[in-house]
Amino acid sequence: MSVVVAGIGETQMGKYPHRGLHEMIQQAGFAAIKESRVDPDRISAAYIGNFNGQQLASQGHFGPLAMESLGLSHVPALRVEGACASGGLALLQGVEAIRSGRHSAVLVGGVEKMTHQNTATVTHALTSAMDIEFEANTGLTFPGSFALIAHRYFHEYRNIQSEMAQVAVNAHDNALLNPNAQMHKKIDVDKVLSSPRIADPLGLYDCSLVTDGAAFMVLVSEELAAEIGSSNGHRRVKITGSGHGGDALSLHGKKSMTTFSSSLSAAQQAYSQADLKPEHIDLAEVHDCFTITQIINTEDLGFFKKGQGADAVAEGVTARDGAMPINTSGGLKAKGHPIGATGISQAVEIVTQIRGEAGDRQVRKADKGLTHNLGGTAGTCVINIFEGA
């Protein structure tokens, strides 16, 4: 059974230390509900992605918080947490709720407030998504983890720092055309390669952003979508395949550091459910928490052979005007990474592209799109496939 995306909404991603959770939820949530033209009384469940509200915003219990903010206190809601995949997992819960037949209209969303805290506090909060006893307590951070992954990739294949730099350049170029992106800054390969090292070989521009923001979607059954009609003028977009994969929390617990098992599993599920193959996908939003990660992800998703993802970047294949556009929104790298909202924000971009409403960043062919959302050091992966009707 397909699930129809009836409405989308998101905030501009950025640094808003004086902007509250309620305000961000209201901006994105009300926009999604209004666009959907679904009577709010018909929304019977909600799933809200949030990673670390307790540490970063001293706020838990995000389900009722979001619903009260939106004037829907009677709607049962729950917070969904899976580190950086929290938003993708919230979306997955909504998809499954519609497919089960129990609900005909649900609200899914995500929100994170981070930038009001100092770097040390944010870093401490983020490390809770890795193994504290065996990793964080030794001094390991996520830039360190993915730096180790990059070095292992260099060992197994070749040094691809220049191609990683091009990943960052592409992200910034795309974000310049996205009014909701956090980072509107033109860069070049030399700037990336000469930037301060965060964890060698990762420099400042190889790393995603600390971001405040929210994103929401209204999902409905095909029956309710037919009842609502399409007079709002948007092309109808369905979610036809979903996957949820898992792997070890720790880096040392994985069978491979250069192939993420959680991605392979989630991709297999999603492609099978949608009855599609990687070559059928027109564009994708993948989890580029670091530039090396985007390259590995595109290989794991089957877009390119192992060891050849960097070649595709160098040849322009993954650019916005390339044969396989990746992260047209700017990605986590430049659109921003509002952790609990990231997976939903990725979906907002794919829906916008399939509708043909992406403006100057619109790709030539956007009939089938994919979102790929990782949690932690790829311990969790959620993939959703979207198709235009």
Which amino acids are annotated catalytic?
Answer: 84, 337
Of 51, 62, 47, the closest CA to residue 97 belongs to: 47
Of 305, 325, 278, the closest CA to residue 157 belongs to: 305
Given a contact cutoff of 8 angstroms between Cβ atoms, the answer to whether 36 and 220 are in contact is: yes
Q: How many CB atoms lie within 10 A of CB 152?
A: 15
How far from each other are the two terminal CA atoms of the chain, in whole angstroms?
Answer: 14
Of 368, 372, 70, the closest CA to residue 214 belongs to: 70
- Burial label, 36 (beta-carbon count in 10 A; 0-12, 13-18, 19+): buried
Given a contact cutoff of 8 angstroms between Cβ atoms, the answer to whether 309 and 284 are in contact is: no
Given a contact cutoff of 8 angstroms between Cβ atoms, the answer to whether 167 and 159 are in contact is: no
Given a contact cutoff of 8 angstroms between Cβ atoms, the answer to whether 351 and 389 are in contact is: no
User: Using CA atoms, how far apart are residues 337 and 45, in angstroms rounded to an integer?
Assistant: 25
User: Using CA atoms, how far apart are residues 163 and 105, in angstroms rounded to an integer?
Assistant: 43
- Burial label, 78 (beta-carbon count in 10 A; 0-12, 13-18, 19+): middle
Beta-carbon-side half-sphere exposure of residue 64 (alpha carbons within 13 Å): 4
